[in-house]
Amino acid sequence: MTAIVPSVNVHLEKTPSANKPGMASKIAVIGAFDSTETNPIYCGSLAEAYTQLGTDKTTYKGVSCLDKLFTGASEIIAVNFTTKSGSTIDTTLTTEKLTNCLAKIKGEDFDLLFVAENVEDTAIAIIKQFVEDSFEIKCPCGYVLGITRANTSGYTTTAGAVGDWCYGIITQQMTVDGTEYSIVDSGAYYCGLLAGLNVGNSMTMKTVPNVSNVNPELTFETGDAGLSLLQAGITTLKCQDRANKTFVVVNSELPNGYDLYINRTRDFVVKSFNLHNFLGERNREATLDEIKQELATVKTNCVNTLDLLLDINYTVQKGATPNCVDIYIDSLVFAGVITKIDVYVKVEVE
């Protein structure tokens, strides 16, 4: 008989993290990865992402973004545009590659989109069309950018072109836990933070965790670049507490004029109205009543349980054809965001 060393073996059985109520934490990322796979790749953890997509953060910007995205993401879908031929590795993103990558994930269930490149306005036009089309097929998602432009005018021009489904434009390099991130990595970090944030939360004057510096630091007086970026709806950070190295988002109002929480909640509600389980059912009065009951439950959850917005007004009716039911979301009613507090001081001397 051979003696053995006693041991305890631990086996981790991983299952995908479920979204908590009010969360929208699934990220689709298009980037250059250390892989030859051209189909979308599902990753339920950072370890799984490194296994499937590589660990070379220097060569592949997509790989460099993975840990930043998993700051708050529950899972990601990665689409790789790297091509390899012998010893030649091409990690260049073209508009043709971007279009093809987006086509591969159209209609899939995810909440945020991130492209791990400094995308120019021609590419942003393609992304904008994609998210608009996704909204129309009731698969809404928002996107975050990490971009560099030559001057303030370039940034404001981009902001004017991003449309209604942009959740953030990052133009400052963040130093996170002592490491200065590139612009693209900074955008990925912010995207990951949003994934871990309840959709009903604004980022206006809220601390960006673990950020101890930004480059460049901006000022917000009349005529300053910071004010121009802010007014254009660009996500701008400033120092709130120099001693404790605390940085906040000055205002999370986006280029379409609405706060981040309004844009994210809008898409969350629309996705919640996605009654796929009724497709294929016979279009009869009983089914119509069931749809009305289902929507009433969705409204109660969003308005009363999750407290995401004040009210949802909608109507349901049979469509013009026998195979159609029309649902009209007439209005989403939101509370505004406090951006100004006036303090009045009266001094009495006795």
| CATH, residue 235 | 3.30.1490.450
19: in domain = no
| Rounded Cα distance, 270 and 328, in Å | 11
Is there a single domain that holds both residue 168 and residue 63? yes
The count of structural domains within the chain is 2
240: in domain = yes
Please choose, from the candidates 206, 174, 198, the residue with its C-alpha nearest in 3D space to the C-alpha of residue 187: 174
What pLDDT is attached to residue 14?
45
Is there a single domain that holds both residue 250 and residue 173? yes
What pLDDT is attached to residue 10?
63
Is there a single domain that holds both residue 52 and residue 170? yes
2: in domain = no
What pLDDT is attached to residue 326?
86
What pLDDT is attached to residue 286?
66
Is there a single domain that holds both residue 146 and residue 222? yes
What pLDDT is attached to residue 64?
98
Is there a single domain that holds both residue 119 and residue 248? yes
| Rounded Cα distance, 312 and 301, in Å | 11
Is there a single domain that holds both residue 233 and residue 306? no
What domain range includes position 288? 277-350
| Rounded Cα distance, 67 and 241, in Å | 27
What pLDDT is attached to residue 345?
87
Mean pLDDT in order along the chain per 10 residues (350 residues): 63 52 92 96 97 97 98 97 94 97 96 98 98 93 97 97 97 97 98 96 96 97 96 97 96 96 95 79 76 91 94 89 86 88 88
What pLDDT is attached to residue 259?
96
183: in domain = yes
Q: What is the pTM of this model?
A: 0.91
Is there a single domain that holds both residue 150 and residue 190? yes
What pLDDT is attached to residue 15?
47
CB contact at 8 A, 127 and 120: no
Is there a single domain that holds both residue 325 and residue 214? no
Is there a single domain that holds both residue 305 and residue 204? no
Is there a single domain that holds both residue 43 and residue 190? yes
**One-letter-per-residue 3-state SS of 52-71:** HHCCCCCCCHHHHHHHHHCC
What pLDDT is attached to residue 338?
83
